[in-house]
Amino acid sequence: MARPRVACIVGTRPDTIKMAPVILELQRYSDRVEPLVLSTGQHREMLDQALGTFGIRADHDLEIMTHGQTLAEVTSRALVGLDRWLGEVQPQLIIAQGDTTTTFVASLAAFYRQIPFAHVEAGLRTPVINDPFPEEFNRRASSLVASHHYCPTEVNAEQLRLERVPSEVIFVTGNTGIDAVHYVAQHEPKEWFAEHSGRILMLTTHRRENWGAAQERISRAFRRILEAEPDLLGVVPMHRNPVVREVLERILGDHPRVRLIEPPAYAEFVKLMQVCRIILTDSGGIQEEAPAFGIPVLVLRETTERPEGVAVGTAKLVGSDEARIESEALTLLRDPAAYTKMAQATSPYGDGRAAPRIRYHALRLLGMESPEEKSWTPSKPSF
């Protein structure tokens, strides 16, 4: 009897990292299911890099990435290619993660083909549909057709209940990003800037809502922080988008204590996070990952779909206001009590066992039993 096929769809570095533990877990049970990995190639080099970190190879690659393409072009090319592939392999279940255009397309293709769609990292929300853009729309649209919703926290699950998603298809699993961090943290450490005896401050910024003037303010604030604290080394892993790079290189490129670097492989990036004093970022994944190592995060956004970290104190929203970014960073760098309060706050995002819980429920959806993980439900933050 043929094994049921599970299509695991990835397209960018972040969703690949968070899908990798799920793929590896399904591969452990390949005697019962046949996991197939499709890459849309939405982010080319960074996606391949992430797959390699976990020893995963795509079974098929749509290779949709072209220079300067619009969101409409990404969506249409991915949808046509994915629909054609689904028709060929005929999976019994489709799984995708998060809020990328690839994930939205996977949910839409599943709906058109009437194939059950399981959404990893479900239930994250901000108050408005275009912040962040286009991610907030992508995650809301994916929820409309999902047959299973794998939520990182009880806050996310409650949000889905408020949207009238049936409780029996909502599962609190923890965040697979924590699984991924634990996996790569076991690797041999890379020596990052061992010659620098002072503290390290990291900046990552790439979201569309921060392009242009907002990114200029962020970059100027980062430079001012470095000038105020002479022992700091500023490290900036630069997104490959030329719109992002132009601003970072223009404002920070000539500073003697700034290192503008290429995006490290994921395992190396985890090691880089571990040597940082604090991190300034607009990345959703880093909001989850850094607290696992006790590193405070200043979030360069006005809203976040990860309010649990803000609620328990592992992260703080600072937006793109130049003066506020500088003030909040210098407080953490100069006030030991303020730093300790954030660094020692307990991460609300999971115990590193989300993938086995997802595998258990996914196999049950296909009519098969496998070892069950004990349920994990974090204490619900009060807002």
User: 317-332: per-residue pLDDT in tens?
Assistant: 999 999 999 999 999 9
User: 97-115: per-residue pLDDT in tens?
Assistant: 999 999 999 999 999 999 9
Q: Does residue 192 form part of some domain?
A: no
Given this model, what pLDDT does residue 375 score?
67
CATH number at residue 146: 3.40.50.2000
Is residue 150 located within the same domain as residue 231? Answer: no
* Structural domain range at position 111: 5-175+350-365
Is residue 228 located within the same domain as residue 262? Answer: yes
The 3-state secondary structure of 202-253, one letter per residue: EEECCCHHHCCHHHHHHHHHHHHHHHHCCCCEEEEECCCCHHHHHHHHHHHC
For residue 52, report the phi and psi dihedrals to the nearest 5 degrees.
-60, -35
Q: Which residues are catalytic?
A: 99, 121, 135, 206, 208, 239
Is residue 113 located within the same domain as residue 250? Answer: no
Q: Is pLDDT of 1 > 80? A: no
Is residue 148 located within the same domain as residue 250? Answer: no
What total number of domains does the chain contain? 2
Please give the average per-residue pLDDT across 359-380, as a whole number.
Answer: 82
Chain-centroid distance, C-alpha 197: 31
Q: Does residue 184 form part of some domain?
A: no
Q: 80-89, 127-136, 177-186, 288-297 — which one is most confidently predicted on average?
A: 80-89
Residue 136 in contact with residue 110, Cβ under 8 Å?
no
Q: Does residue 185 form part of some domain?
A: no
pTM: 0.83
Is residue 331 located within the same domain as residue 357? Answer: no
Is residue 46 located within the same domain as residue 151? Answer: yes
Is residue 134 located within the same domain as residue 231? Answer: no
Q: Does residue 187 form part of some domain?
A: no
Q: Is pLDDT of 244 > 80? A: yes
